[in-house]
Amino acid sequence: MTTLSIAAKQLRRQRWAWYLYDFGNSAYAAVVLLAVYSAYFKGTVVGGAEGSRLWGIAVGVAMLVVALISPVLGAIADFSGSKKKILLAFTMVACVFTALLFFVGKGDVVKGMLFFVLAEIGYRGAQVFYNSLLPEIADEDDIGRVSGIGWAIGSAGGVICLGIILPLIIIFEGPTMVRLSLVITAVYFALSTLPLFVGFKEKTEAKPLPEGENVLTLGFRQTWGTILKAGSYREFIKFVVAFLIYNDGVMMAMNFASIIGAVLFGMEQTALIIFVIIVQVTNVAGAYVLGHMVDRIGGKRALMLSIGLMVIAIILMFFTQTSTFFFFVGALAGFAMAGMQSVSRTMVGVLSPPGQAAEFYGFFAVAGRTSSFIGPAVYGGVAYRVAQWYEKARGLSEIAAEQAGQRTAILSIGVFLLIGLAVLTSVNESRARAARKMARAGAGTAVGTG
């Protein structure tokens, strides 16, 4: 076996370890955020329009915490060569507190919010370091394809986990089985991450700490340096601003999809799981198709297409009157959201300077998580306030008023998407790719002459 074929085999093994992490990671998103816990928290733990408001606050708090800590940790990871270790720590937090959601019952509002916030911090914090490993297994020519495949495999993992949970919930009806599904998800997530933690070899090597520095002070210093560096990359900054806005729409749709189905169409837990399975299946298709399109038409165009499809889905969702058509809208939204998230992840790798992936993914996380704090809070607040107005000022019943609040809040998703799309049009991807190639060439020349 030649050295080249051995290297190709090792790269393939590294990629599959990376893919399988997403396989388990997406199960958390499918069960906790989309199909089960969001609707359970809103409808059973809290109840009424107040459930939507508190769910938005819980999601937002978790996002804000990750926004504050991820850039520092990203800088530390790049300097110490410990991306995988920090990824493991966040993953353990996510799995442990997802399992502990089993103990959240009716009326356990504080416990339900606290355990979810901690699980969500683990899940979102881990994504920063998982995403930062992408440039280690893909070069600029195939980064879009590799990212898309990873997202597709991850979505398939969500579908399989839901497929395990669905028959159990049908056979063993009641809240206990719903809560037990969260334990199953935590175990599923943990097992899927083992290939990455056991077999993935991180390329970044640790560097000695400068005299008088520790990892914390160095992390803050690196973070400030990243902010200054990022300011020099105009296209990256413009993209991050666009992402900050349109990502709100993605997070709002993801975190409230099951709540919308339950409130507007009276969908029960079984129907919601089937709905999310459909969303996840089209997620696989969207990630695969739009991931490949990055390498053919460019990341910006693929991203604009994804956002456009999502806007259409939101318009249709606002006018939808039947649960049957809601399933169709969910399928379209799943296809579009996969493209938006997968291609956005790819764009960070394309627009960031070589050798500083974790730092720039950390900076990217600040925008994304801060954005995500605003979006769910806006959605939950709009749904709650409008419902209160319709009930008190217009005399509608509690259910009718809550439905009116949800429909109004759906429109706020479209507003974020359209503004983000408008900002994205200003990004010059070709210029950014050319600058990255020049930086690589300069680094290669320096090494060759050193």
The confidence score (pLDDT) of residue 370 equals: 59
The confidence score (pLDDT) of residue 311 equals: 95
Q: Angle of helix 234-265 relative to helix 357-392, nearest 10 degrees?
A: 40
Among 427, 154, 97, 197, residue whose Cα is nearest residue 291: 154
Among 195, 179, 171, residue whose Cα is nearest residue 111: 179
Domains for the chain: give ranges and CATH numbers.
Answer: 14-196+218-444 (1.20.1250.20)
The confidence score (pLDDT) of residue 449 equals: 43
Place of tokens 């991820």: 70
| Cβ 60 vs Cβ 191: under 8 Å | no
Amino acid symbol at 119: A
- For residues 246 and 259, give the distance between their C-alpha atoms in angstroms, rounded to a whole number: 21
For residue 175, CA distances in Å to 36, 95, 158, 184, 419 come to: 11, 20, 21, 15, 40
Output the furthest CA–CA distance in the chain (Å, rounded). 79
Place of tokens 């997530």: 189
The confidence score (pLDDT) of residue 119 equals: 96
- For residues 299 and 140, give the distance between their C-alpha atoms in angstroms, rounded to a whole number: 11
The confidence score (pLDDT) of residue 423 equals: 94
Cβ-count burial 345-384 (b if 16+ within 10 Å, e if not): bbbbbbbbbeebbbbbbbbbbbbbbbbbbbbbbbbbbbbb
Q: What's the pTM?
A: 0.78
Residues in the chain: 450
The confidence score (pLDDT) of residue 439 equals: 61
| Phi-psi map region of 326: left, alpha, beta (phi>0 left; psi -120 to 50 alpha) | alpha
How many CB atoms neighbour CB 141 within 10 A? Answer: 8
The confidence score (pLDDT) of residue 436 equals: 64
**Structure-block tokens of residue 289:** 């198709």
For residue 365, CA distances in Å to 89, 291, 345 come to: 17, 21, 11
The confidence score (pLDDT) of residue 349 equals: 73
For residue 385, CA distances in Å to 38, 53, 74, 255 come to: 20, 9, 38, 18
| Cβ 377 vs Cβ 248: under 8 Å | no
The confidence score (pLDDT) of residue 149 equals: 81
For residue 359, CA distances in Å to 215, 227, 229 come to: 14, 9, 10
List the pLDDT tens digit at each of the 450 positions of the chain: 566 576 778 888 888 989 999 999 989 988 998 889 988 998 889 988 888 889 888 988 888 888 777 767 766 776 777 788 888 999 999 999 999 999 999 999 999 999 999 999 999 888 878 877 887 887 766 766 787 788 778 888 988 999 999 898 888 878 889 899 999 999 999 999 999 988 787 776 777 767 777 767 777 777 677 677 777 778 888 888 899 899 888 888 888 888 899 889 888 888 989 998 898 888 778 877 887 787 788 888 889 999 999 999 999 999 998 989 999 999 999 899 877 887 887 787 777 776 666 567 666 766 666 566 788 888 888 988 999 999 888 888 888 998 999 999 999 999 999 999 999 999 887 776 666 666 666 555 544 444
